[in-house]
Amino acid sequence: MPIDLKKSAIDLGIVTSNPDDMLGFYRDLLGFNHEGSLDMPGGATMHRLWCGDSLIKIVTYEKTPPAKAPTGGIAGATGYRYWTISVNNLEEITAQCEEAGRKVRVPVTEIRPGIRISIVEDPDGNWVEFLESN
């Protein structure tokens, strides 16, 4: 039986030891709506941000977890390596990220007719792909 979706979007959790910079990127630079923050079991705090209908959860622990995901972008390791946000202002958001000091790993590029992307690195080195289609 296929999945029976309750919501047409996903929730994404990003664990960080750098909550101020991560909130600065997702909330302040990209403009995600900050619903609020809440304490979680195990000494964690979750900052809840909305990107359209998707909930992005920035989670930080009082004691930083011992392992760190490898950097290197899409080809740097296996597992979750990037996520995509569909936008209408690709050039503008890419330029704003670059002006704010974020690394643009893939400049605005047409990957096939009518589909352009860019990829930007967040403060923890996670890759965020922006996609614009005609």
Range of the domain at 125: 81-134
Mean pLDDT of 127-132: 97
> What's the structural domain count of the chain?
2
Closest by CA position to 58, among listed 30, 78, 92: 30
Residue 71 lies in a domain: no
Q: pLDDT by residue (tens digit) across 53-102?
A: 999 999 999 998 998 888 888 999 998 899 999 999 999 999 999 999 99
Are 59 and 97 in a shared domain?
A: no
> What's residue 60's pLDDT?
96
Q: What order of strands is seen across the sheet that includes strand 54-61?
A: 11-15, 54-61, 44-51, 33-40
Give residue 1's pLDDT: 85
pLDDT at residue 72, as a whole number: 85
Specify whether 59 is located in the same domain as 90: no
Element at 96 (helix H, strand E)? helix 90-99
Say whether both 60 and 3 belong to one domain: yes
Judge if 59 and 93 occupy the same domain: no
What residue type is 53 in one-letter code?
D
pTM: 0.93
